[in-house]
Chains A and B, each alone.
Chain A
Amino acid sequence: MDGEELTEQETQLYDRQIRVWGADAQRRLSKAHVLVCGMKGAVAEFCKNIVLAGIGSLTLVDNRLVTEEALSANFLIPPDEGVFGGKTVAELCCDSLKDFNPMVRVSVIKGEPSSFNEEFLKTFDVIVVSCCSLAEKKSVNEKCRKLPKRTSFYTVDCRDSCGEIFVDLQDYKYAKKKLDDTVECQLSYPSFEESISVRWKAHPRKVSKLFYALRVIERFEEAERRNPGETSISDLPGVLKLKKEMCESQSVNEAHIPNALLERLVTNPTEFPPVCAVIGGILGQEVIKAISGKGDPLKNFFYFDAVDGKGIIEDISSQP
Chain B
Amino acid sequence: MASQQQLSAIKGAKVLMVGAGGIGCELLKTLALSGFQDIHIIDMDTIEVSNLNRQFLFRKSHVGLSKAKVARDAVLRFRPNVSITSYHANVKNQEFNVDFFKQFSVVLNGLDNLDARRHVNRLCLAADVPLVESGTTGFLGQVTVHVKGKTECYECQPKPAPKTYPVCTITSTPSKFVHCIVWAKDLLFAKLFGDKNQENDLNVRSSDPASSSDHAEDIFELNKDETIEHYGRRVFDHVFGYNIEVALSNEDTWKNRNKPRPIYSRDILPDEPTKQNGNADKNCATDGQSLISAMASLGMKNPQEIWSLMENSRIFIEAIKLFFTKREKDVGNLAFDKDDQLAVEFVTAAANIRAESFGIPMHSLFESKGIAGNIVHAVATTNAIIAGLIVIEAIKVLQNDANNYRMTYCLEHPSRKMLLMPVEPFEPNKSCYVCSETPLSLEINTHSAKLRDLVEKIVKAKLGMNFPLIMHGAALLYEVGDDLDEDMVANYNANLEKVLSELPSPVVSGTILSVEDLQQELSCNINVKHRDEFDEEKEPDGMVLSGWQETSLEKGDSSKTLGNGESTSKTLPSTKDADKNDDTDIVVSGRKRKLDEASSAVDISSEANSSKKPEVLDDDDDDLVMLDDGDSAINKKKRLQ
Contact = CB atoms under 8 A, between A and B. Distances in A.
Contacts of A309: 389, 392, 406, 408, 420, 422, 617
A72 B30 CA distance: 11
Nearest to A315: B417
Interface stretch (A9-17, A30-38, A113-121): A9-17
Interface string B415-437: 00111111000000000000000
Nearest to A279: B388
Contacts of A48: 56, 380, 384
Interface string A65-109: 000000011011111100000000000000000011110000000
A15 B381 contact: no
Given A11-B366, A309-B420, A16 B54 contact: yes
Nearest to A53: B380
B54 A17 contact: yes
Interface in A251-265: none
A19 B640 contact: yes
Contact of B384 (A102, A280, A295): A280
B578 to A, nearest CB: 13
A284 B410 CA distance: 14
A49 B380 contact: yes
B52 to A, nearest CB: 6
Nearest to B582: A16
B2 A53 contact: no
B78 interface: yes
A310 B388 contact: no
B179 to A, nearest CB: 20
Interface in A265-292: 268-278, 280-282, 284-285, 288
B375 A12 contact: no
A298 interface: yes
B474 interface: no
Contacts of B304: 5-6, 11, 23
Interface string A160-175: 1100000000000000
Nearest to B423: A309
B377 A16 contact: yes
A308 B617 contact: yes
Given A271-B1, A277-B30, A309-B406, A52 B385 contact: no
Interface string B366-382: 10001000011111111
Contacts of B78: 75-79
A164 B29 CA distance: 22
A52 B380 contact: yes
A21 B80 CA distance: 37
B50 interface: yes
A306 B418 CA distance: 14
Nearest to B388: A277
Contacts of A2: none
Contacts of B383: 281
A147 interface: no
Interface size class of B (residues with CB under 8 A): 35 or more
A313 B641 CA distance: 29
A20 interface: yes
A274 B412 CA distance: 20
Interface string A21-44: 101000000000000000001000
Given A15-B53, A19-B375, A281-B381, A312 B1 contact: no
Contacts of A6: 304
A20 B139 contact: yes
B584 to A, nearest CB: 11
B50 A15 contact: yes
A45 interface: yes
Given A15-B50, A17-B377, A302 B419 contact: yes
A3 B303 CA distance: 14
Contacts of B378: 16-17, 20
B53 A14 contact: yes
Contacts of A288: 381
A228 B52 CA distance: 35
B419 A311 contact: yes
A140 to B, nearest CB: 24
Interface string B131-163: 000000011000000000000000000000000
A274 B29 CA distance: 10
A309 B410 CA distance: 11
Among B49, B302, B379, B641, which residue has the most Cβ atoms of chain A within 10 A? Answer: B379
B267 interface: no
A274 B408 CA distance: 14
Contacts of A269: 1
A99 B59 contact: yes
B102 interface: no
A42 B303 CA distance: 36
B538 interface: no
A218 interface: no
B619 interface: yes
6 contacts: A17-B379, A273-B391, A280-B384, A284-B384, A302-B419, A309-B420
5 closest A-B pairs by beta carbon, nearest first, are: A311-B420, A277-B388, A309-B422, A19-B377, A281-B385
Interface of B: 1-2, 26, 29-30, 32-34, 49-50, 52-54, 56, 59-60, 77-80, 138-139, 301-304, 366, 370, 375-385, 387-389, 391-392, 395, 406, 408, 410, 412-414, 417-422, 582, 617, 619-621, 640-641
Given A17-B54, A17-B380, A79-B80, 16 more contacts: A13-B50, A16-B378, A17-B378, A19-B138, A19-B375, A20-B139, A53-B380, A75-B79, A79-B78, A273-B34, A274-B388, A276-B33, A282-B381, A306-B392, A309-B392, A309-B406
